[in-house]
Structure 1
Amino acid sequence: MNDDSSAAALAGSLRKELDRYPPDGKLPSSRVLVERFGVSPVTVSRALAALAAEGLVVTRPGAGTYRAAEPAGRPRTVDTSWQQVALTAEDPDAAPRVVDASAVLATLAAPPPGVIAFTGGYLHPSLQPEQALGAALARAARRPGAWERPPVEGLAALRAWFGREAGAGPAQVLITAGGQAALTTALRALAPPGGAVLVESPTYPGALAVARAAGLRPVPVPLDADGVRPDLLADAFAASGARVFLCQPLFQNPTGAVLAAGRRRRVLDLAHAAGAFVVEDDFARRLGHGGPLPPPLIADDPYGTVVHVASLTKATSPSLRIGALIARGPVVERLRAIQVVDSFFVPRPLQEATLELVGAPAWPRHLRAVAAGLRERRDAMLAALRHRLPALVPDPAPSGGYQLWLRLPDGTDETALTTAALRSGVAVAAGRPYFPAESPAPYVRVTFADTTGAEEITEGVRRFALALALTGEGEGTHSGRYG
């Protein structure tokens, strides 16, 4: 059990016992609570802080913790029926907005206790650089001016760090609150209201949610094992009039595909000919499993058509919400204006801590550990699939990222399968939300980053195979590409 869940359990126990104490009565000391419940002092501190936030207790420095003299006011109940009308009444001439975060929330939701998570999109705590992050945050807090307002574009040193890999200067970089915020800013800045935006099919559901919430129309461009197909990309530009193509050239989510060297320039030429921008979501740059990587697409861009999205979140911690937008030309000012209107700037302490992290000797060691950890987990999942479900093994296997994209037998009910899997004790993601239009075939995405290692992965695949058998899909499975 982690500290957060332990603190929540302790807070629940103390909450039930508060009636034993009179108003303004003193609770047992932290030392007594540590001994009684067998938890750490940190857990006790967090539990008491939670009760204080609810207005149930009051902490007095040097004196202890007391039951609040007056209970906190109960939440007021009001009639909100009118909101159903207000939230759906739109201008009939305007582009419809679809605000649906269900697919994103599904990847963020913690599975029930005892369920193995093949849905997580972040590193398991054992792979996160927790000590290095803590040390970086402590050093950052001691920096002069650490709590002063930063430049709205971000700290110059951090912008320079992100820009080097993309072959860009600091003036061409904006620091963002993670990759998702960068995608939101980019699509709002580049695509006209009600317009089309070309996306890979399948693609990251969070990008589809951003586009639809902005009133944009995602238009699918199919992939194969070498990334987006340039012939279909040309057709999509011509048919839709789109001015934006959103893609993931490196370890694409969910397929793991890498855009082939022979297609990179062709994609840029097609976008330039259409007068369009390419939004390059380079979220997996630091999630390779070892070996050389192609440079970012923006590094080979001769036109200024690429708007590059970088992020450190996937390779560190879900709470290090630091990313960057990199572009050339007047579009930088448009991106900057949208970001300032939305959020002003990224908090300076987080930027300072990031600089401390990436400048420390522990940083390259952490990246090597991530590569080794992901490679070991990928190999364990592939081995388990070959043993129990050989027809589902993807070909080729991804050389980076944190997921496998599994083609299911024709006619498989994804919803029934994911429900059966959850009942069997493993969480997997249905493939349907990854397609911007009709799905060409049934798929599931299984991730391995948020697992403890080979033993848990092997058990998770066993449970998944059981779910397939329970739904009648365990026999006759076959491999496939991307539809």
Structure 2
Amino acid sequence: MHERSSVAELAGTLKAELDRYSVGEKLPSSRALVERFHVSPVTVTRALAQLAAEGLVVTRPGAGAYRAEPAAPAVTGDTSWQELALAVDPGASGDLVPRAVDASGVLVTLAEPPPGVVEFNGGYLHPGLQPERALAGALARAGRRPGAWGRPPTDGLPELRAWFAREIGGAVTAAEVLVTAGGQSALTTALRALTPPGTPVLVESPTYPGMLAAARAAGLRPVPVPTDPEGIRPDLLEAAFRATGARLLVCQPLFQNPTGAALPAERRAAVLRIARAAGAFVVEDDFARRLVHADAGPLPPTLAADDPDGVVVHVCSLTKITSASLRVGALAARGPVLERLRAIQVVDSFFVPRPLQEAALELVGSPAWNRHLRTVSEALRERRGVLAGALARTLPELALPHLPSGGYHLWLRLPDALPEAALLPAALRAGVAVAPGRPYFSAEPPAGHIRLSFAGVAGPAEIAEGVRRLRAAVDEITP
């Protein structure tokens, strides 16, 4: 049995038996629990630690574990006053506008589905694709580095900033890089730094829900700019800048989420030209560069590498290619805006924990790093093919406008007769979780969509089974 489940089971059993003991009475010894439940001493120690953390037992070194005093019953108060306190000041109309933050589109990809459900809604690599041994080794080595537990520079470790600068390319230097707590944190900092509350921000349509949530939380008004299979449309982008007076565009030029589109060279140049003419910044969310598929051609350079004038604020991260818990990313910018980005990050979080930065350095500097990149690249290529082939055979009515050469998902348009809102619960009943399309649109969507991730599942066999279950869900709600 897995150690984690053994600990949970033992803790649950001991918790159920606590009523047998009076307050202050000693529980059986660790040796007795090992013999009774046929588990390891480590499992017993961790189970008792869990009960101690819940305030149910008190452990005394060398003496054992004792039943703790019961916690005082919780007092139910009246929190209705908060509804008014959490509203903004009256506007010109005198109406109160709630400052609600909608994280539902993000939680869809963060929540773990029930056991046995095929996870097509995930946003991270399956544990079988994560470099777990390399990460464990990097973290162990990092903890032994001189000064590893001291305070790091607020901008990040110089060696890690230099590594990110080389990865971004062009003339970007380490002095123009800030180490961040992952890509989401970097996006949030950039949105707050680059335009004031109440102003418009141009976004791709569809686009990443986490960015939309962060923009709205910062008081910004996302304005959609339509995309096609080659990414954002420059003609509509230019029109949107003129119509709105916006001074900020957020885009994902490479393997866009959710469409998978990659901007061709002429559009990349057009985006920079149009933004520069509008006096606007471009936040380049380069989240998927290391998720390139094995059959893709040479990758284009980052927008930041082609931008000497400081139009682009570049965001990237190590999280997607490693683990959801390695929350280490970077912001790169040049010019006066860098100081504002730095100030906001310091005020928000001081700095990224040094052991995590040291572990990231150990990982990317090890021989295992390039091996891991090659392994993931080949696995994503295979899984993309398996999923696309299974969909073509089993669910041909779901349209796939673009087959990406990078990233970890496919973006599917639903037929008009298949309601998105009904498909999601039907899919869960059939044992497969999918990401709804609605949260990817900042305004009314043109049609129903779903996003299927092929990175968070165990492998080709589970992909095939997930598509079979999705077929059953479609049949359930289709007349």
Identify the TM-score tier after normalising by the shorter chain.
Answer: over 0.9
Write the distance in 2 (CA, Å) between the matches of 1:258 and 1:35: 60
| Partner of residue 84, structure 1 | 83
Asked if the contact 1:382/1:393 (under 8 Å) is kept, the reply is no
TM-score by length of 1: 0.93
Which blocks of at least 5 consecutive residues in structure 2 are unaligned?
Answer: none
Q: Give, as a single letter, the amino acid of the residue that structure 1 aligns with 2:412.
A: L
Indicate conservation of the 8 Å contact 1:175/1:325, yes or no: yes
- 4+ runs of 1 displaced by more than 6 Å? none
In structure 2, the partner of 1:209 is 213
Q: Note if contact 2:180-2:329 (Cα within 8 Å) is conserved in structure 1.
A: yes
Whole-angstrom CA distance in 1 between matches of 2:272 and 2:329: 23
Paired residue secondary structure (2:128): helix
Q: How does 1:63-462 map to 2 (within 5 A)?
A: 63-68=63-68, 70-93=69-92, 97-167=99-169, 168-290=172-294, 291=296, 292-392=298-398, 394-462=400-468
Residues 160 and 34 (structure 1), Cα distance of their counterparts in 2 relative to 1, 3 Å cut: farther
Shifted more, 383-392 versus 121-130: the winner is 383-392
TM-score, with structure 2 as normaliser: 0.94
Q: 1:362 to 1:13 in 2, by over 3 A?
A: same
- Rounded to whole Å, the distance in 2 between the matches of 1:126 and 1:450 is 9
Contact 2:253-2:262 at 8 Å conserved across structures: yes
Offset from partner CA, 1:390-427 (integer Å, 9 cap, x none): 24252431111111101110243111011111111111
The one-character-per-residue Cα deviations of 1:109-143 (angstroms, maximum 9, x if unpaired) are: 11112211110101111111111111111111111
- Deviation, 1:28, is 3.9
Find the aligned partners of 1:430 and 1:325 in 2 and give their Cα distance: 29
Q: 8 Å contact 2:88–2:99 — kept in the other structure?
A: no
Tell me if the contact between 1:251 and 1:401 (Cα under 8 Å) persists in the aligned partners. yes
The amino acid that maps onto 1:21 is Y
Structure 1 residues 218 and 411: CA distance shift in structure 2, 3 A? farther
Letter matched to residue 111 of structure 1:
P
Query: Amino acid of the residue matched to residue 439 of structure 1?
Result: P
**Distance of 2:436 and 2:24 partners within structure 1:** 52
- Taking the aligned partners of 1:436 and 1:148, their CA distance within structure 2 comes to 43
Q: CA offsets, 1:222-280, max 9 Å, x none? A: 11111111001001111111111000111111111111122111100000000000000
| Structure 1 position 37, deviation (Å) | 4.5
After superposition, the Cα gap between the structure-2 partners of 1:393 and 1:365, relative to the gap in structure 1 and judged at 3 Å, is farther
Q: Which amino acid aligns with 2:189?
A: T
Q: Show CA shifts across 1:360-386 (max 9, x none).
A: 111111111111222222122112112
CA 1:12–1:312: 2 relative to 1, 3 Å:
same
Q: Secondary structure at the match of 1:444?
A: strand
Q: In structure 1, how many angstroms separate the alpha carbons of the residues matched to 2:87 and 2:363? A: 45
Stretch deviating more after TM superposition (406-415 or 87-96): 87-96
**Mapped partners of 1:111, 1:461: distance in 2:** 16
Change in CA separation of 1:44 and 1:287 when aligned onto 2, cut-off 3 Å: farther
**Percent same amino acid among aligned pairs?**
69
Q: Are 2:164 and 2:330, in contact at CA under 8 Å, matched by a contact in 1? A: yes
Partner secondary structure for residue 238 of structure 2: helix
